[in-house]
Amino acid sequence: MINKVQNTQPSVADSPRENPINLLDFHKMFSSDTGCLQYLERMRWPNGFVCEICSEVGEPFKIKARPRVLKCRACYYETSVTAGTVMHRSKTSILVWFWAAYLISTQTPGISAMELQKKLGIARYETAFQILHKLRSAMVRPNREKIGKDWPIELDVIFMGGKTKSGIQGKTNQVPVVIAVEIRRREVRDPKTNKIIQRTLAGRVRLQKLQSKTIACLDQFAQDCIAPGAIIISDDGIEFRNLINLGYGHQPVPMRGDRAKMDSTIPMVSLVTANLKTWINGTFHGVRKKHLQAYLDEFTFRFNRRFYRPESFGSLLNLGTLNTGVAYQDLYDRLDPNTQAKT
């Protein structure tokens, strides 16, 4: 029997805020699966439910026994609120998904799968691990904007994971990661002189694991992530030499591994690198090379929204409605169970 579900709490549409600003606010907005489903339905169909089969617009039937299902009043086609999202066909409570999205997007240190399992009482570690990786796979917006259109870029390649072979410089099994940081300037008032000064700060970042530290890999990254004609500051390594031929305003600076010179010439890259390594080692105690890009995407998402933490939750859920995320088989098929890390 089909019945309209009676709302047990105020609709998100009636809430004074679209996004919770703290834990208490989150609990008030999402105390049950019903509140989560209302929020997600409104996010997916902000102008009212639209049937994907007959294009009928209007309030759908809702089935008490299957709260995720929406049934068109015209053609009786059934769809799920979570269909086509990162929660697609998940048996895990949608409330658990919302908590995971809130914790990963708003907590300063992020959260590991083991910690998520403990906090939310998830029975299996693998379930918590998959939830977080599905959310990470949603953190990159399709056709996202390239950086550097209005601000100069600092660019560098670092190495993560593994060890230097035999202590010989340049011989390593570590993974090369390219970091690009927008250099923004903001006018602030100096409290001592009461004069307006310009303060430099890191803008948006882009991070990507590279196959190798070569000209071809750097060129591809630049074309994918950096706006044409952007000013790029880097060292004079051979991997950066073709940037000028691609139309970028490349400004190479010889550094020869001088840490002090690097910190003064590309200070924002040094800052992002330090934050990235501290976060990876502190929250996850290291990550697998196979999953490194997922963690780089999470760092990018969180860093670029560090001044807008309350909005990060809604932004993540919205991005999570665009695809179903990484599949279970992709996470575990090629993992060695004897060396699987708890991250």
Same domain, 73 and 180: no
Is pLDDT larger for residue 169 or for residue 195? Answer: 195
* Domain contains 144: no
Same domain, residue pair 16 and 44: yes
- Position 221 in a domain: yes
pLDDT of residue 310: 87
Among 81, 102, 123, identify where a domain stops.
81
Q: Are residues 188 and 256 in the same domain?
A: yes
Q: Which of 81, 103, 125 is the last residue of a domain?
A: 81
Tell me, what's the pLDDT at 167? 52
Same domain, yes or no, for 261 and 310? Answer: no
Pairing of strands 175-189, 153-160: antiparallel
Does residue 196 sit in helix, strand or coil?
strand
26, 100: one domain: no
Does 340 fall in a domain?
A: no
Same domain, 133 and 160: no
Say yes or no to pLDDT of 132 above 90. yes
Q: For the chain, what is the domain count?
A: 3
**164 and 275 both lie in a single domain:** yes
pLDDT band at 170 (very low <50, low <70, confident <90, very high): low
The first and second tokens of residue 12, run together, are 């998100």
Domain check: are 211 and 299 in the same one? no
Q: How far apart are CA 314 and CA 173, in angstroms?
A: 38
Domain-embedded: residue 186 = yes
Domain end position, chosen among 81, 104, 126? 81
pLDDT band at 330 (very low <50, low <70, confident <90, very high): confident
State the DSSP string of 256-321.
TT-HHHHHHHSHHHHHHHHHHHHHIIIIISS--TTTHHHHHHHHHHHHHTTT-HHHHHHHHHHHHT
* Residue 306 counted as domain residue: yes
In this prediction, residue 173 carries a pLDDT of 79
**Segments forming the whole domain that contains residue 45:** 1-81
Residues 6+ apart with CB under 8 A from 312: 105, 106, 301, 302, 305
**Are the CB atoms for 100 and 120 separated by under 8 Å?**
yes
pLDDT tens digit sequence for 298-311: 999 999 999 999 89
Residues 180 and 264 in one domain: yes
**Predicted pLDDT of residue 214:** 96
Q: Among 165-179, 226-240, 258-272, 293-307, which is the least confidently predicted range? A: 165-179
- Does 48 have pLDDT greater than 50? yes
User: Virtual CA dihedral for 101, 175, 159, 167, nearest 10 degrees?
Assistant: 140
Q: How far apart are CA 9 and CA 28, in angstroms?
A: 9
CB-CB neighbours of 62 under 10 Å: 19
Round to whole Å and give the CA distance between 78 and 57: 14
Residues 333-340: what's their mean pLDDT? 43
Distance CA 22, CA 233 (A): 39
Residues 97 and 209 in one domain: no
Q: Residue 243's pLDDT band (boundaries 50, 70, 90)? A: very high
300 and 259 co-located in one domain: no
pLDDT value for 3: 40
Any domain includes 342 = no
Reported as a single tens digit per residue, the pLDDT across 1-17 is 334 333 333 333 333 35
Residues 6+ apart with CB under 8 A from 230: 147, 148, 149, 152, 153, 248, 249
Q: Structure pTM?
A: 0.87
Where does the pLDDT of residue 212 fall: very low under 50, low under 70, confident under 90, or very high at 90 and above? very high
Strand 231-235: give its sheet, edge to edge: 196-209, 175-189, 153-160, 231-235, 249-253
What contacts 86, CB < 8 A, 6 or more positions away? Answer: 97, 134, 135, 137, 138, 320, 323, 324, 325
Distance CA 10, CA 8 (A): 7
Q: Is the pLDDT of residue 338 over 50?
A: no
Which residue type, as a one-letter code, is found at position 240? F
Lookup result for tokens 């509140």 = 35
Task: Let me know whether 54 and 14 are in one domain.
Answer: yes
Q: Is residue 338 part of a domain?
A: no
- The CATH number given to whatever domain includes residue 248 is 3.30.420
pLDDT at 280 over 80: yes
> How far, in Å, CA of 272 to CA of 278, rounded?
10
pLDDT digits (tens, 9 = 90+) for 75-116: 999 999 999 999 999 999 999 999 999 999 999 999 999 999
* pLDDT tens digits for range 179-198: 999 999 888 888 888 888 88
In a domain, 37, yes or no: yes
pLDDT at 343: 57
